[in-house]
Chain A
Amino acid sequence: MARIRRGFAAGLALLLGVLLPAAPAHAVVYVPISGAGSSWSGPAVYQWASNVKQYGMTVSYADTGSSDGRNRFKSGVVDYAVSEIPYGLTDGGVVDYPPTTKFSYMPIVAGGTSLMYNLRIGNNRVTNLRLSGEVIAKIFTGVITNWSDPAIRADNPRLNLPAREIVPVVRSDGSGTSAQFTMWLSKKYPNLWNDYCRKAGRTTPCGFTSNYPVVAGMGFTAQSGSNGVAGYVKQDGNVGTITYVEYSYAVNLNFPVAKVRNSKDYYVEPTASSVAVALVDAQINSDLTQKLDAVYDSTDKRAYPLSSYSYMIIPVDQVSGSFSLDKGRTLAAFAYYFLCEGQQQAESLGYSPLPVNLVKAGKAQVDRIPGAVPKAIDGRSCNNPTLSPDGSNALANKAPQPKECDFKGNDMCASGTGGARYNTPLLAAPTGSATTSPGASASPGTNTGTGTGTGTGTVVDPDTGQVIGTGGGASGGDVTATTVDLVAQDRSTRRTMLLLAAATLVALVLLPPLLARTLRNRRRL
């Protein structure tokens, strides 16, 4: 009995312990704070802002782009900014000078810059596209312009890609996503990127840029905001488009994202765990900004190369301009919330939670906000998904190994990605039935070799000279015909019908009054 009572008491104490630190939050009066910046992190910030309403905090946010956020913070119009890149970088020869007031960077969430696309084969949406880094670079510099390009076919051996034009969709506004993406382009594929930059009339070497250059006549489309590019790709008619956008946008719109090949030749999707794995290699500077070169070439086969952190820029140490201690208290309480509880939602929102070391480093910065009421965050009480006993990133540790069908070679997975988790019908494996079962090849190396040995003869139609099928066993398995929406077929008939319709319309409008007039004239005579 005593034991039970003790247990109850302990439970009560624990309950109180959990409740009590939260209690002051109710007591404190918060003032509205406003921020602006990254649309890459927009969905996360909006979710957190709506979550803290229950504590009486009014946090507004405008996802007008990282560049705009940094500028507004610099001019003191907003209380905080969210940006993918720090101040002080040189973009197109222009240095983005930091504000004169004291500020600090605080990582808020990790995520993968994904390649969302709209592609159909016949009536089926492609959900399992795979792209290598070089192909991505070539697409976004206008070198590869068709989906049936041999390089894309090589990445997707079991998709019968249509001969459609590729329409790269880029950001038209100053954007941190563009900055992250072009940083990767300029570091990994400097030649392609500089050639493209030169065409756009910029001085080279180009480096990263927040304003993606667009060359007229190359088939690119530019849209404003992450919602703009994602919404554009999503439109039913815009088949053949591809854009770079944060993973959560694709998930929310139920669209697939391309699996990107990493340095271990696996095609990886930007899930929370693959982003966490990649960012283990991120080099964190003393001011908490990131250096991602090692992330691009992460040697882990589970890593997604285009992973990065996003930052909140917060005023620290001193009150200046329109900022006040009250605002500081609210901002700090908001920051404590999303560093701790907010991270639990990161994965479901399409992001990856911050590792514990960055949560702690971020908390140290939040403590410096003027007016902050310091709150104990040790990661344990937060249920941070990355927390592990030995201090390493638990999410990265338990990240699943990529499937063998995701390895470079003749096979590919049928399963969908992003927000489109349904299978795409695949062509039969090109040659040799043994390769169809991915489990059969334990070491990735053998997978590529099997194709050459079997030597099955292709069957050619004697009349047309077209390949009608390979002799690869499975009967009817590799019919590669693709239905196409034949809008333009039978044009002469359509034209005649349209001309007839137009003539009828004109007659309908003109004839009655003319007739009436003639009749009247005749009567008058």
Chain B
Amino acid sequence: MTASTQVRPTAPDVAEQRRELALPGGADRVFRLVLRSMGAVVLAIMAVVGLFLAVRAGLALRKAGGDFLTTEAWEPDDENFGVAAVLIGTVLIALVAISLAVPLATGMALYISEYATGWRKRLLVTLVDLMAAVPSVVYGLWGVNFLQPHVVGLSRWLATYGSWIPLLEVDGYDPGDPLSPQTVFTSSTFIAGIVVALMVTPIISSIMREVFSQAPVGEREGAYALGGTRWGMIRTVVLPFGRGGMIGGTMLGLGRAMGETIAIYMIISPVFVIQPHILENGASSISSLIALKYGAAGKVGISALMAAGLTLFVVTLAVNFGASMIIARSRSGAQSEV
């Protein structure tokens, strides 16, 4: 381990000393001012968005009161609406997405950062970035027209042999009836979750790759020097070092999964009751609810949608803050411990 300290001079310390020595000149001051105001603008925009949502949601929140969080319905014109069902639907879709995306992203990131070399590595990095650049409507189209008919078989299999798990139960499906419609498996939380998983995988993967590649060379070399295999090195050095980044990336992905709109909008068949059966036709999510109902909403309807948006805003904010806190507290990017 001492070798690593010799190889890597303490560069940050030097920088720190230099900054201390430099006298704040006019140009520096202006530059700092510009940067500060830019940071402030970001905060201000967030605050304005939140405030706008809160103000516009006022009407609906006053009408619904505390029931807004517990009602499972969306008939704002009859003053019978609440986010209980859609919020849980959103979380379920996001969880399905994350549980599929995280193993995939971890594998991708590990292969790219630890195993792939040369042109293979460059190609894969480009491909993953490309995956992130594909518009969500394309994922939606693909999901609805290609993926859905093909996943139905898997859903059916899961429902047939896994129905003892409450989550995988499907009402109205009788495995013994050959004429039972396949449609009970379409437009489900599961299918929406798969598509969203593909959309969040690149983000999670790039964060993980970044963190993994920062695992200190010294410790890697040490692990090899002790006779570790590559997998042993990954298990004892890269993964523990990157744990914070993995959790942070996962939570960023979760935040994005909860906000995903158009792909879900195209796939799900919206229902406004809590639907815990992820394989069954009928799902819901806040953002797709807004996209669906915005076009034909009345005055209360718009306000109710704003309130739903506010709920989503708060939840995503909490998730993202959580993520950034975990990333900040992790060892990622820190110096190797000697």
Contact = CB atoms under 8 A, between A and B. Distances in A.
Contacts of A200: 75
Interface stretch (B41-49, B111-119, B209-217, B267-275): B267-275
A425 to B, nearest CB: 19
A4 interface: no
B144 A231 contact: yes
A314 to B, nearest CB: 20
Interface in A183-239: 200-203, 210-211, 213-214, 216-217, 219-224, 228, 231-232, 235-239
Interface string A240-260: 110000000000000000000
21 contacts: A65-B295, A92-B75, A92-B78, A93-B78, A94-B298, A94-B300, A174-B295, A201-B78, A203-B78, A211-B293, A214-B269, A216-B282, A221-B282, A222-B269, A238-B181, A238-B182, A238-B183, A484-B178, A488-B177, A488-B178, A491-B175
Contact of B80 (A91, A201, A221, A495): A201
Q: Of residues B152, B172, B266, which shows the largest number of chain A Cβ atoms within 10 Å of its Cβ?
A: B266
Contacts of A172: 269-270, 292
A133 to B, nearest CB: 24
Interface of B: 73, 75, 77-78, 80, 144-145, 148-149, 152, 156, 160-161, 171-172, 175-183, 186-187, 265-266, 269-273, 275, 281-282, 292-301
Nearest to A171: B292
Contact of A214 (B77, B175, B270, B299): B270
B178 A485 contact: yes
Contacts of B182: 237-239
A160 B254 CA distance: 50
A360 B46 CA distance: 53
A92 B77 contact: yes
Contacts, number: 127
A91 B296 contact: yes
Nearest to B172: A219
Given A91-B296, A216-B272, A231-B144, A486 B186 contact: no
A165 interface: yes
A64 interface: yes
Nearest to A178: B296
A94 B77 contact: yes
Given A71-B296, A94-B298, A174-B293, 12 more contacts: A65-B296, A67-B296, A167-B183, A173-B295, A213-B75, A214-B269, A216-B275, A221-B183, A228-B266, A231-B144, A238-B182, A487-B178
Nearest to B271: A216
Interface of A: 64-65, 67-68, 71, 91-96, 162-165, 167, 172-174, 200-203, 210-211, 213-214, 216-217, 219-224, 228, 231-232, 235-241, 484-489, 491, 495, 498
A210 B296 contact: yes
Contact of A67 (B78, B152, B295, B299): B295
B164 to A, nearest CB: 13
Contact of B75 (A174, A201, A236, A498): A201
A232 B186 contact: yes
Contacts of A95: 298
Contact of B292 (A165, A173, A221, A498): A173
Contacts of A498: 161
A235 B73 CA distance: 30
A219 B181 CA distance: 10
Contacts of B273: 216-217
A211 B269 contact: no
Contacts of A67: 295-296
Nearest to A64: B295
Contacts of B270: 172, 214, 222
B181 A489 contact: no
Contacts of A174: 292-293, 295-297
Contacts of A489: 178
A221 B78 contact: no
Q: Of residues A216, A238, A239, which shows the largest number of chain B Cβ atoms within 10 Å of its Cβ?
A: A216
A235 B292 CA distance: 23
B290 to A, nearest CB: 12
A216 B73 CA distance: 10
A491 B163 CA distance: 15
Contact of B296 (A203, A211, A485): A211
Given A210-B296, A235-B149, A484-B178, A221 B281 contact: yes
B62 to A, nearest CB: 18
B179 A71 contact: no
B263 to A, nearest CB: 11
Nearest to A487: B178
A523 to B, nearest CB: 16
Given A221-B187, A235-B148, A491 B176 contact: yes
Contacts of A64: 295
A150 to B, nearest CB: 18
Contacts of B73: 201
B277 to A, nearest CB: 11
A495 B161 contact: yes
Nearest to A92: B77
B265 A224 contact: yes
Given A222-B269, A237-B152, A486 B178 contact: yes
Nearest to A237: B182
Contacts of B177: 488
Nearest to B273: A216
B109 to A, nearest CB: 21
Contact of A202 (B75, B149, B183, B269): B75
B103 to A, nearest CB: 14
Contacts of A162: 179
Given A228-B144, A241-B183, A214 B295 contact: no
B233 to A, nearest CB: 17
Given A202-B75, A222-B269, A222-B270, A163 B179 contact: yes
Contacts of B301: 94
A200 B273 CA distance: 11
Contact of A223 (B152, B181, B269, B297): B269
A101 B175 CA distance: 59
